[in-house]
Structure 1
Amino acid sequence: MMSMFPRSPITRARRWLATALLLAASSLAHAQLEVRMSSQFLVKGEQAILEYVVEGALNPRARLTIPEVPNLSIRPVGYGAEPRMSFGRRREFVFSYAVTSYEPGTYTIPPAVLDSDGATTSSAPVKVRIYHETDLEWSTVDVGGTNMRYAAAFRTIDDQPFVKEVLPTELKIYLPANQRVEDWGIPEFERDGIAAWRFEPRPSLGRANLLGTSYYAVSYPSTLSPTRSGEVRLGPAKLRLMTVQTSVRDFGSAFYAPANLVISPLTLNARDLPGGAPEGFKDAVGKFELSVTASETEVREGDPVNVNIIVSGAGNLDTMDPPQPIDSEGWKLYPPSSVQLGERRAIQGAASFRQFMRPLRPQNAIPPFRLVYFDPETEEYVRLLSNSIPLKMLPSTNPAPGHRAVPMALPMPVEEMTDILGLVNTGAKLLPAGTDGLIAKWWQLIPAAIAVILFFRMLQLHWFPRFHKDPDEVARMRELRKLDRAPSDARGFYRATGHFVERWLGDREDPVTRDILAKRDQTCFTEEVEGESVSRSERQRVLRGLRKLALPVLVLLACLSPTLRAEDMPATEPADGEPDALAAYEQGSYGEAARIWLESGPYDRLPADTLYNIGNATYRLGVPGEAALYWRRALSRDETHAEARQNLRFFERKFGSIAIKRPDYQYTLAKLPLVAWKNFVWAGAWMLGLGLLVFPATRYGSRLRIVAIAAMVTSPLLTGAGICGWYYYPDDARFAPLAEQAVITADRASVRTDAARNAPLVIEAPAGSLCRVVSERGEWSYIAFTNDTRGWLQTSRIGKLIPEGDPVPPAIPAPTEDDKSA
């Protein structure tokens, strides 16, 4: 038995497929070379597997170089890098080597170098400790009535570590090779002055020849770190294995038998860190590298700056405090958040921190960050300093009148907040019921009617004539019928027949026609005629004229705005109590003013101006979160409400609310409603369609064709502008539907990892932060912010953009238990 868990073999076909994937992989430009070892603690002659792992893609021409180590044999296993799927279905490529030594001692395998077309990357060094087999402590345990001989001990690299130094540690067990183990347990151990992670077995077994007998080598890797100086201890420990035994009495049947192993403690002598630590040292022990970047280097006055800090290397990454700027003067620092990368029990890895900083005055650079750590190998303190990051600060889009800088954060007396815009349209009327979107749709009836007229005219010119007989043929047949009613005397008869011949058959040379004309001349012009009367056939000839139809003129209509402000809408009924609300607002009774405005009519018919005024009154009342909620509700009624958008921008900058960041051009697009940009697209399409219909509906040389050409040239420009405005319009519904959007109404809302007040804190959300309600559980709601942060929050701390039922008039909230415990 060479493995505790079954592993499927890689067939020859899969190897060829993996080779094809290697040829299609990209170059190794930013590959990370990770090193893994099956065991770092070996007896003489025991073999360990050393693996160098590259995640993702690997250049098939890449070469790995490992320096030679005296008295340590490192030989390759297999043929170069082999692909495999790691935990989580991630593809990786592995260089495998077998490590063996026959000389006891501690060895360091230098960093391996991976070269791929000139791009190189290095791994971390690896320490290996070789023991003599006589150093093992042997014990026996009763297993199913027989004694089993085994060796077990805790092993570590250094017997005299420094306090808070992280050391690789293993629980190493040697069992007879003829012993079958079905279940490997987890050791239970004691700790005294040591912090250690749980020990778990590796998925594969090694082999060792000890005292002339073959043994399995089982490794339980972990790490330990002394928490105090002096003598510290790991263990003793107990480990329960489940073995499979063969019964001789029952004719070789198998049965399970437990084996309770006892492991002796590991005693270390921990040393204090040397004195004289530089400024900024916060118990970072190991060997690290520092990387500091900024998400944005161009911000407006008052906007926070997001700084990303990554500390990589080997050491106590899981307990490390985030680095701090060397000079925080002129900056407001918020509590940093941390994200651990990789397994915490691993020494190698990286720790990521996110630091929010708000400039309190104009700044031209983000100050450098400092990391001071103690290197246990050199026994010296090392000071790392990042470079300063250039910062460009633009003027605020909404500076507060009378102030040169962005107002300071809370606390601020509500009565002194005179930096928001005043009331607008205090005589606002209720919105008429059932008229939403009518103007936005009905204007298209006009170009549709013009299209119908042009289509009918096109049929009239090109299709209707096919259903009529030739007018000449009709006239000729009509006069032929009239000849039957001609006068019976010769003069009248030949005059009529001669006229018919000259008109219809004058171009024909025929004896019959010549005879008729000759007789007509002889009869009608040889004697004097007193007078001639116009025959009926002669009078009908004037009826062959063409009637000309007047062609209608195509008029291209401008796109009508679909959104009317409350003062422009036809009022159905005035809002009740408007003078009383204005008087209460001017007297400082902001809560009463908000209540009167809110109760002035049904909520779904309150105009955007009324909702904006309620937000102003609520802001003055001292409930800033409710104010942001009503300003957003005003924008949901009228997205072009400039005052509500301006107040909301000021509020989010002042309180640091979590909201959607938008560039300046989107605020310019918001000066027109979203439906207007959509109507530009429809107007351009109508202009193109009507322009194309003009040509078949008119005759050559018509002046209307000049108008059609101008319309077809203008159509792509109008359509393109409408599509761009439609696509880049600042629509919060892209973050979440309006029915799912909510606003943090509490001054401070504690977002937690679970629906409980004692659950760990995720973030302290400022008032006015925009979020999406994902789900609800009792009095708690699971929300998601615009920065991808999620957590549980009490439902009473938020207000939905579209209220369920009639909203309650805003009031100053009473302190809750969450405020007291947060």
Structure 2
Amino acid sequence: MALFSAVAGHAATVRAYVQPATARPNQVINYVITVQDGQAQSLPNLRFPLQIQQQSGVSSSQQIQIVNGRQSVSLQLSWGIVASEPGEFVIPTQTLVVDGQNLTTNEVKLTVENGGGDFRQDAGDDPNKPILQIELGKKEIYQGEVVPVNVSLYMPRVVQLRRLGLIEMEKSDFAIARFPQTNEQSSTIIDGVGYYVLTFRSTLSSLRTGDLKVGPANLELLVEVPMEGQQQRGNFPPGFGQNFPPGFFPGMSEPRKLEVKSQQVTLKVLPLPAEGKPANFSGAVGEFQMTASASPTDLTVGDPISAEIAVAGAGNFDALTTPSLVSNGGWKLYPAKRYVIEGPMDQNQTPTLERKIGYTQVLVPEAVHPVLPAFELNYFSPSQKQYVVLRTEPIPLNMKPAPATAGVESAGAGTATTVTDVQAPPPVADPQADITDILVRPPDRSNWLAPTSVLLLHSRAFWSLQAVPVSLLVLACLLAVARRRRAEALAGNAGSLRLAWEEFEAASNRSGTSDKEFLREAAQFIQQVNGSQRATGPVQAILDRYEATNFTASNTPSLEPAARREIHSTLAALMRQTLAKLSVIALAFVLSASVLQGAEAPKAVAASPDDVYRDAVTELDKGNFSRAQYLAESLTKKTPPQLSAELFQVIGHARYRQGDMGRAALWYQRAQLLDGRNPELKQNLRHIFERTRYLTFGESSPLRLASLWLTTNEWLILAAAGAWLFLLALTWRVFRSSPWAVVVCVVSIMVALPAGAFAALRPLGPERVKDISVVTLPDVNSYTSATVTSGSVIALPPGTQVRTLEKRGAWFYVEIPSSPENLRGWVESGSITPLWAWDASLVP
């Protein structure tokens, strides 16, 4: 007679594990045996190491799941066990009877660490504070390897849990799958304190190598904590209430909102070895198995064959590529289709990362083949620490040659032959694109986005220029004349001084020059030199002699030749002194300008991002993808940020090579905003779309889509050029009759009108990125309310665009692109990233 039933019509399997996998001495943990799709007819005679004792009897629970139309029934048998001392122990296999057969479980490894050290460190002196702990499946992994990560919440039994938030964890160095709200519940006793344990399961893979820190994890809780003096009620012995659930004995309690934080765990991430790396290695890391089948196997040359390839195992399935045919000579292959056979099972029920995916490959034989060649897949095995090439078995075929298409029938000797109708050759189909990887061709230089770009559509000067071109042309001429005169006035002091000196010397050397005329020229020269300043000394004496001679009625003695020579010498010294001062001022101006330029030069060199960009491209070529990503993203975080389409593509390449499809699509879409005509960028986005089938917002009309060919400024400049050309051609036609003027007018109108229309239709940069975010994590879903336990709306593949409408805590209410009309739902804020994280006016 069956003790436990879990019948589902499939082969039964058993699996054992401990929860948690890492414990402390004298901590009660659970040893669990899971029976999948079978009837347990007897309990196993449990065997444990000497340091481990059974603490409680068996407890059972049953789970029923339906995955892809298949019903799966899981029976869990659980025992409480305790380890008396620290160390690493291996629990041996256990045998139990399932469906009349003896089935053996796997061995289970249990790690027991020294207790009491840091377990209650975060709780301090408060015995009622919950504790959060991170547990990793491995302490040393390879880059790209997927490992389980568990977060366990230890709730004291005297505390009643009212509401549970979402687990948040830092993801800068890791790709961490979203933690579900569902959890596995158990109980334990540590250091004499009873706890309920809620375990949340997820997976992580590293984005770079080195000794990295996992965590801390954060969780918000709303709990009911017993008030002081209410934990022990009545005359019960100490610890009696710990054997009962919270609320079993009524008492006074108070609500508390808590935020618990876990410890950090160090994880050593090793780089994948370069030795033995296959040329077509796609980055898959894990343990995989592959099988293949084909139908039909009896066929004629030219008949299509459908090959079904199944890949099962545990690892980063997103990095797997379509298995290739070992020898494809004489075969015509069509693009393979990928689908999911079995997704990841409930991680809170079975601690496994196993999945199973399938590929449908259509092949057409072009010659007779005895077998369908093997399919090949390569990956890196962490357990074997080497690259593995996986191959299927060749599939035997019974193939016949194609029938003759033409023949000549003879009626016999001496009779005429008749030629049968010649059958037309079958039509040849056009080759279909089969993009299996991204194009990596970064340019040597990056065209940096100007942080002070101005949209001509909002420029008054631009529209004024188009409204009054003739007036502005005249104004430009007047400004040029005024600028020339001002330049002469500023730069011509020395010239005016020399001109005044030449006039004075001409008067001195001219014979017959009267004293009045000589002194007047001398006074004009002094006025040119001093301006409004008052002269002193001998110069003032010359001015006094000039005023006495020209403006008084007294008879002044005439100037002797010696007096004239003295005046000439005095003014010559004044001339040399003034020219020296002007030279010093000019030299000081030149030196100050050169000093300013020299001071700015080092700043420009230090701020230049070209060297960093070239280093990022070099690291990308070497295969150091995490280093290339770090260098490139550091430029986007500068003040002001250094942005360009080329830089965004380098980051997208690095993200793709690390298996991060969501962020690769994000950076490619950002690059497309700046350079939508780049053919390599379009092809890479098409490749990611074929892999993930992400959703994007499209333009409402073909004309708006065509308007994106050029930027708004480029359309406006083109329209303005057409308008100016029309105006000049019309002016030419008015002053001079010429047929070419009419032709130019027609051409200019054909340029100006469409350009102006496209400039008006083209969406502005801020409108293109307003409230748009991109899904960057895998396995993201949208829900009908802000909780994962609500109904679902649609799955959101990595790279999907959404428009945020409302924020509520850790959730966003978003609009989702769909056909025939957009959908709406709730998504977790940690799963999406804004499409544009900088000043929206920079978007062209």
Q: Please state which band the TM-score falls in when normalised by the shorter chain.
A: 0.3 to 0.5
Structure index of larger Rg: 1
The two structures have a TM-score, normalised by structure 2, of: 0.41
The two structures have a TM-score, normalised by structure 1, of: 0.42
